[in-house]
C-alpha cells in the first residue's frame, strides 16, 4: 500500500468499454487515493490486450506492452476550486492515457466524445498548462521530502531529549 511506499495501480475508467448503451463516465477515486497518499498519478496504456480474446475467436497471445506517460501531481490543480481539483486531475490523466493509447497529442483527444456527461476541462488546461515533470524529477522530489521529514523528526526528538535533560538536574 502507499503507506509502505509500494506502488498501487488503479485504472480510473473502472469498467470495460464494450458496446453497451451505458454512457461512460469518469470517477475521481484514483485522484482521491493519490491525494490521501501524497502520491503522483502515472498515466499509462496497455497495448493489444483486446487482441487476447475476441468474440467468437480462440485465445491469442499477441505481444502486449505497457506505455507510461509522465507523472501528474494533484497539487498542480490547486488553481481550481477545491471541489473540482480531483475531477479535473482525473480528466487530465484520462486524456493523457487516451493520448498514449491513440498515439496522438493529448490536446487532440476528444474527451467530450469519450465522456459526454463529464465537464470539459480542455479550455481550462489551455489557459493554465499543467507542469510537465519527468519521473526522475518526481522521484527525487519524493526522496527529498521524505529526507526532510525524517531530519525534522530527528531534530524534534533531539530537542525533546535536551529539554528532559535540562529539566531534571542530576543530584550527587
134-151 pLDDT per residue, tens: 999 998 998 898 899 999
pTM greater than 0.85 (yes/no): no
Distance in angstroms (rounded) separating the CA atoms of residues 26 and 15: 10
Read off the pLDDT of each residue in 157-163 and give the average, rounded to a whole number: 81
DSSP assignment of 29-85 = HHHHHHHHHT--B--EEEESGGGSS-TTS-------EEEE---B-GGGGTTS-GGGH
Kindly tell me the number of DSSP H helices and DSSP E strands found in the chain.
5, 2
Whether residue 1 has pLDDT greater than 60: no
100-109 pLDDT per residue, tens: 999 999 999 9
23-77 pLDDT per residue, tens: 788 888 889 988 988 889 999 999 888 888 888 888 888 899 999 999 999 999 9
Residue 108, pLDDT score: 96
Percent of the chain surpassing pLDDT 70? 86
Whether residue 172 has pLDDT greater than 60: no
The Cα-based distances of 158 to 76, 99, 152 in angstroms read: 35, 50, 10
Amino acid at each position: 500500500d502507499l503507506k509502505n511506499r509500494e506502488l498501487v495501480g488503479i485504472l480510473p475508467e473502472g469498467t470495460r468499454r464494450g458496446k453497451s448503451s451505458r454512457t461512460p463516465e469518469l470517477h475521481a477515486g484514483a485522484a482521491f487515493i493519490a491525494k490521501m497518499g501524497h502520491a503522483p498519478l502515472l498515466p499509462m496504456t496497455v497495448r493489444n490486450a483486446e487482441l487476447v480474446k475476441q468474440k467468437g475467436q480462440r485465445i491469442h497471445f499477441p505481444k502486449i506492452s505497457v506505455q507510461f506517460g509522465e507523472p501528474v501531481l494533484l497539487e498542480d490543480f490547486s488553481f481550481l476550486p477545491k471541489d473540482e481539483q480531483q475531477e479535473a486531475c482525473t480528466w487530465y490523466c484520462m486524456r493523457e492515457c487516451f493520448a498514449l493509447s491513440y498515439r496522438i497529442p493529448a490536446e487532440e483527444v476528444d474527451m467530450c466524445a469519450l465522456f459526454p456527461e463529464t465537464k470539459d476541462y480542455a479550455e481550462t488546461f489551455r489557459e493554465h498548462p499543467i507542469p510537465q515533470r519527468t519521473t526522475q524529477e518526481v522521484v527525487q522530489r519524493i526522496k527529498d521530502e521524505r529526507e526532510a521529514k525524517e531530519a525534522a523528526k530527528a531534530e524534534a526528538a533531539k530537542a525533546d531529549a535536551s529539554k528532559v535533560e535540562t529539566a531534571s538536574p542530576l543530584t550527587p
